Structure 1
């Protein structure tokens, strides 16, 4: 039989852990070193964390060639007096004070014993000196100078240690009084809580003796443990590569430390019911429109986020307010498919409730960096790196620490990115650039046709304040124009009032300018477009 603990139980340490979104599945292994004789045996394993979920507990016996079955397995919880020693971090200040005074009292009593022993030795020395003086004087071998020197030195040491002993006794008396008062206050204020501990009782029925080295495997769920993905991205100085470190941040407060455990991180949601949601009634009403309403089409400007598969979606101007709120490590976004990530080596994870970062994988990916500006969203010019996920695994949504040549530049968010999908990260602003934006709008309605023409002119002023020897930098400026969803409204780019001409306009209305600015260079961009609506459209 394996060596038992102080509680008389067989040790059953945690060997493997699968961390879920809001709980953990723990695997334990108990080794029966001496085997078991034939018959029915009740074994107590543990201790285990008291937060273990009873209904999730299951056991399996690994004993090749042995005819043995597990008849029963259950959790047993006990309240025991707290162990001797320093109080825990959750103890009250008064309890900590009592512990400190008790430790001080023990140290003072040890000093008292040592000082008393020195005083006793000095008193014995004085007695020996007096006897030596008497015997030498009777024998006629007087030596007054030696006797005086030895007596003076012995009396000085005896007086010094005697004074130290007196002061120490006074301090012990004061400390004993203070400790008694503190203990009385503690007894009146609170009661020492009992400690909850848990064990696993297993009933094994063996038809024949179990061989030496048989193992018992226990698996159960435990709350107060979770994980979230996190990343660290470092952009190279030339912007052609991106070093991406994929980590898992894990917390646990299950009541027991995990030492040398094989950790796995799963996105499975075991608590979600596999049933479709209840559908509510959707009532549709038909309302007759007036002849005037039939002639009029009401349109309005609608803001729509451009959704794509893979990119971070923060835009070239940096993280949005929504992504900034997501930096608090929300639920794991796995793209709708359960994922399992495995730590490359065993991990020690203490039960302290603090986040611990565990490295999972790292890769250096080819990247393309550019300085990008979206004046409508921000007056900053940011450095954006675009890359494809060639790490061989999906990138779950999570915060990412951004690092470039100047060091840590901030924290962003990496959205869910499939294998081979594109992604982008913003690595902070380039402070040598200044961007200003102004918009002018005019509205004209033709009396004959009733058409409404809205003319808008967007002016952008881009300047760079850098040392004279600074190298020129290429900047991509993106502005947008509305995109019409109906034929009664037409949006047209006015090339005559646009200077310089943009590089192009995509289907989403994003206008792109490619500029190169040297030190102390300034550029002015003018973008004009018209929105034309027919008589039947109210804008």
Structure 2
């Protein structure tokens, strides 16, 4: 089998559940048809997604396939290897060293035997020429015999040590085979059939999809006075079986597998029945929560943020520098860029959701930048890391808001009182609710007054027969703003050790035919 040519990963496009990998290698082609063995590559590569092309040369890739084989894993033990596996590895190394020692001893003994033969030949030639020197001959033979004897003993010792290590290694391997299961590893290579018009050097580019590789957007927001530094990041996971070294990474919001899985059709059974007399006379009304999000200038308001699968435009982000991502299945942070934005910093309190006053920063993204995708945000202030929040989808030029932790100098309490009254003459039922919010500022004497924005809400009626009214004479102080979504806002300035009470009273009025849920 010919030796495989390395085919490294040079670029990877990461999606939400897979990755498109691009590989390149420069090969020497001969005129005609030839077969190339490339790799190793990840065994998870999708066969149907394989594509190949030749660059800088006249030729075509006529066939491209993945060949997978089960092979034993390397014998070198890792951190999780057992003591028996480590013993086998150690004995293997020692046995290889003993074999080398024995081979060196045999080579030295062969040299000494050649030296002894040369001494005997010199003695024979000198005696034939009439130049007798018994003393010199005796000393030379004695040195040669002594060195030969010592080397023979060393060779015997080396052979004995090799035999003992070989026996111990066989026993350890037999014990390891009985006690431990040595799993096989699935390896893969690419076999490409290339047809070239003439002999030349060319770049072979191969692309394929692979699972076990994905990305998610993330951010790091640092608040410095009235400025917000927003760093865009991407977390990358990959467990494809091969490390990516110095790879150009692209991050896409497209979903290539969405069309391959059509939705399952289910039966929707409709049943008709006659309404009862009570149901004809009464209409039941209940409260429901609606999340409203602003998509920016001209975007309007909607419950669902446009995405890739419902009319959104797929985005593709690129890492500024090549990145190395090991195949360990752990998240790796990749910095995509940063921008410095002017922020409107304020203290905000939403008593219905939390009894805390939060430092909020509202900022508007640049119109020319890409949208902010949904993802976690690491929040940093002058004191350091303060927590982690979440950033929703934000269109270019839209306003986003982040909370940078609560302020312990404030205390908020909220209470609700509800009463129900049925009108005898009007025939309408009125549900009155009074919400009282107490806001206190515990600060050292002489501290600067701090403005706090308080937000409350009232229901918004979708029926003409149900009326919702804010009782202005019983709401103190009057709210600064009242949006069409029922959000009321107060801006309260609190000095040190000051307390402020906000009272909101509203009623829901409906005829007797409408049943108001409690």
TM range (shorter): 0.7 to 0.9
Q: 1:518 & 1:335 partners in 2: Cα distance? A: 50
Report which stretch shifted further, 350-359 or 290-299. 290-299
Counterpart of 1:507?
A: 484
Residue 192 of structure 1 deviates from its aligned partner by 2.4
Counterpart of 1:267?
A: 253
Counterpart of 2:312?
A: 336
Report which stretch shifted further, 242-251 or 178-187. 178-187
Counterpart of 2:87?
A: 98
1:71 lines up with 2:57 in the alignment: no
Q: 1:334 & 1:259 partners in 2: Cα distance? A: 36
Q: 1:334 & 1:230 partners in 2: Cα distance? A: 23
1:52 lines up with 2:45 in the alignment: yes
Determine helix, strand or coil for the equivalent of 2:178. Answer: helix
Counterpart of 1:422?
A: 399
Name the TM-score, length of structure 1 as normaliser: 0.75
Counterpart of 1:18?
A: 13
Residue 349 of structure 1 deviates from its aligned partner by 1.1
Q: 1:493 to 1:440 in 2, by over 3 A?
A: same
Residue 282 of structure 1 deviates from its aligned partner by 4.5
1:365 lines up with 2:341 in the alignment: yes
Residue 397 of structure 1 deviates from its aligned partner by 1.0
Q: 2:218 & 2:188 partners in 1: Cα distance? A: 34
Determine helix, strand or coil for the equivalent of 1:272. Answer: coil
Residue 381 of structure 1 deviates from its aligned partner by 0.6
Contact 1:332 1:396 in 2 (8 A): no
Determine helix, strand or coil for the equivalent of 2:418. Answer: strand
1:406 lines up with 2:399 in the alignment: no
Task: Give 5+ residue unaligned stretches, structure 1.
Answer: 1-5, 110-174, 312-330
Counterpart of 2:195?
A: 205
**Deviation string, structure 1 residues 80-100 (Cα, Å, up to 9, x no partner):** 343342x246x5535555368
* Correspondence list, 1:94-493, <5 A: 94=83, 97-98=86-87, 102=91, 185-210=175-200, 213-236=201-224, 238=225, 240-273=226-259, 277=263, 280=266, 282-309=268-295, 336-390=312-366, 392-493=369-470
Determine helix, strand or coil for the equivalent of 2:293. Answer: coil
Determine helix, strand or coil for the equivalent of 2:472. Answer: strand
Determine helix, strand or coil for the equivalent of 2:474. Answer: strand
Q: 1:227 & 1:521 partners in 2: Cα distance? A: 49
Contact 2:423 2:429 in 1 (8 A): yes
Determine helix, strand or coil for the equivalent of 1:269. Answer: coil
**Deviation string, structure 1 residues 83-133 (Cα, Å, up to 9, x no partner):** 342x246x5535555368659989xx9xxxxxxxxxxxxxxxxxxxxxxxx
Q: 1:11 & 1:510 partners in 2: Cα distance? A: 63
Q: 2:89 & 2:34 partners in 1: Cα distance? A: 46
Residue 243 of structure 1 deviates from its aligned partner by 0.5
Name the TM-score, length of structure 2 as normaliser: 0.77
**Deviation string, structure 1 residues 359-399 (Cα, Å, up to 9, x no partner):** 11110011111111111111011111111121611111111
Q: 1:385 to 1:31 in 2, by over 3 A?
A: same
Task: Give 5+ residue unaligned stretches, structure 2.
Answer: 99-164, 298-306
Count of residues paired in the alignment: 439
Q: 1:276 to 1:77 in 2, by over 3 A?
A: closer
